[in-house]
Amino acid sequence: MDARDKKLATDLAYEIIKEVSRATRPYIGTPEAGEKVKMGADGTPTSLIDVISEEIVVNILKEAPVYSYLVSEEIGELRLGNGTKRSITLTQELRRDDLSEDEKPRFIFLVDPIDGTSNAIKEIPAFAISIAVASVPDGRVATLNDVELAFISNLANGNFFEAEKGKGCWLNNKRVKPSDEVKISNMTLGGFTKSGTSQASQLVDNARRMRVLGSVVLELSYVASGRYDAFLDLRGSRIIDISAAKLILEEAGGIITDKYGEKLNTTLSIYEKSIVVAANNEVLHKQMIDILNDNQTDFIGKIGIMGRIDQDRSTLFSAKIVDYLLTNGREVQIEKRLAQNIMELKQNPDLEKIIEKTKENYPEMGDMLDDINFNIDFEKMSKFLHDFDCDMAVILGGDGTLLRAESHMNPEIPVFGINMGTVGFLTDTEIQDTFIALDEVLRGDYYKEKRSRLVVSHENNHYSAINEVVIMTSKPAKMLHFQIKVDGEIIDEVRADGLIISTPSGSTAYAMSAGGPIMDPKVGGFIIIPICPYKLGARPFVVSDNSEIAVKLLKKGKSAVFVMDGQRNEEADYEEEIKFKKSDKDAYFIRTSTKYFYKKVKDKLGEGGVSNPNRCINE
């Protein structure tokens, strides 16, 4: 958007604000203003005062000498200009390639004619008009990053916020900036917290004061100008409401993201919403994100290490990590067999040749194997996995190694995985990024991801699984007959090669290969998947993780094997039930990025997880 277009868009915005203010003034505080006249395009009831305001917006842009797109709360999405008006779907319209230069719109206006309608009807002085102006991208959908101008006017008192991308933010022609508060306990917090989570309650309880004004656009602007320290909307704010306020806050120097701390770059559409977490600075914002996601980090002082013992590279790399951790003042525990391997390698006369060969075969390890300090009493630090008493366990290997470690350790010890296997979906980092990631973790820049476990009950015995339990015949090419119950109700009887009961973590493993859905680990559910069922209607079930699943073998004379996470096998006979419930103890993983899950899906599952050309085929 060049200077001429910005001037034109600004003039149109000023005119809209002036005329809406003039036209609505007589209706403020009157019963007539609140009369419900229709349903808006966003599915919410529309009051008379909303209709009056929006008609002004539409008429001004319709008679403008240029074409514009309008996204507005009540009327939806329009193409306006040069005396014309046409309903559109913006995401489709932006992909058109049949418009001449004269027909192409110059701007996308996102307008909430009155944000805080209920306040206006009751004459509570917190209602505003919000206008964001975005440039029109070429051949793609528009997002919040395309917004270049923002205008918010408090129609109750005339306070006027405006911002230009890359130029700053002003309130009544004076530059503004957020507060410098960094303590949650001193924070003034605004917004909407209806989420039913203890984390949201904790955030509100810890704040010094809480404000709920009923106007998202004003409250976000108050963070920009230092009146509030933070704001959140856990219901989900419409893009129309936050498009102008986001630019105003960011140009003032504040932070606005989703619940997980990711920047907002949502598509511009009448239908889009986003949870919003905004703060005056990065320090306060991170504290809010940590509380909302139950990610409050602790100092990691004691660290356990467990790794594959079938490869020299894992053993060498473990020794390197031990030295790194000791150098950084941490107490280290080493799994007993790994410690023995390190000691044996330390005494091997061909140690230097082994190191050089490993570097040659695994160039991604590069210089990390140089200068390994073997002058350490590794054996003194050795412990059995079930005796680990540490703040974090570093696991070197693939998903199988990690699951094996989890099955033997105290379940409350969080795990940090370094991928030295084929896929490594549950691991956090690749070899080459190990020490960058560990630096982040040791300085507290990490979060704990919580994942559900299964408790498996059979004949008064209890087992646990993180990924899945597979029930199958011990005889190849033989089918089993299953009865499946959920909370005591029979949901299916099926003949199949086997059955998988999977957690969300396991949805990207065997369950996915058997045709099950991929589930975000934050989803509270389990998946029941028949393996090669002899029944056309047999499909996977997703059930609540508050439910109890019971599986019974129905064919006399046949027994089954049930396998937990590929680690432990047990047998079940005819008419014996195997029961599955959510464990009271969750699994915890140390993560250095909030983009962990979907990034892993994209990176790891595109080609079966084999993405590293240097990785040996026999791994």
Strands lying side by side in the sheet with 549-553? 461-465, 454-458, 577-582, 549-553, 480-486, 489-496
Question: Of these residues, 399, 428, 545, 565, which one is catalytic?
Answer: 399
The CA-based dihedral angle spanning residues 313, 315, 318, 323, taken in that order and rounded to the nearest 10 degrees = -100
Residue 318 vs residues 149, 313, 334: alpha-carbon distances, Å: 53, 8, 9
- Residue 112 gets which letter from DSSP? E
Beta strand ranges found along 17-93 (DSSP E): 36-39, 45-47, 68-72, 76-81, 84-87
Active site residue 399: yes
Question: Residue 553 in contact with residue 573, Cβ under 8 Å?
Answer: yes
Question: Residue 440 in contact with residue 614, Cβ under 8 Å?
Answer: no
d(CA 78, CA 107): 12
d(CA 128, CA 152): 7
d(CA 393, CA 395): 6
**Both structure tokens of 431:** 């070899």
Give the 3-state secondary structure of 277-325: EEECCHHHHHHHHHHHCCCCCCCCCEEEEEECCCCHHHHHHHHHHHHHH
Please, which residues have CB within 8 angstroms of residue 56's CB and are 6 or more apart in sequence? 16, 19, 20, 23, 113
Residue 473: CA count within 13 A, CB half-sphere = 17
- Residue 263 gets which letter from DSSP? B
Residue 527, helix vs strand vs coil: strand
Alpha helices, H only, 135-266: 198-206, 216-224, 239-252
Q: Which residues pair with 88 in a beta bridge?
A: none
Residue 19: phi, psi to the nearest 5?
-75, -35
Nearest by Cα to 334 from 361, 291, 357, 302: 302
d(CA 165, CA 433): 35
How does strand 188-192 pair with strand 209-211?
parallel
- The catalytic site residues sit at 399
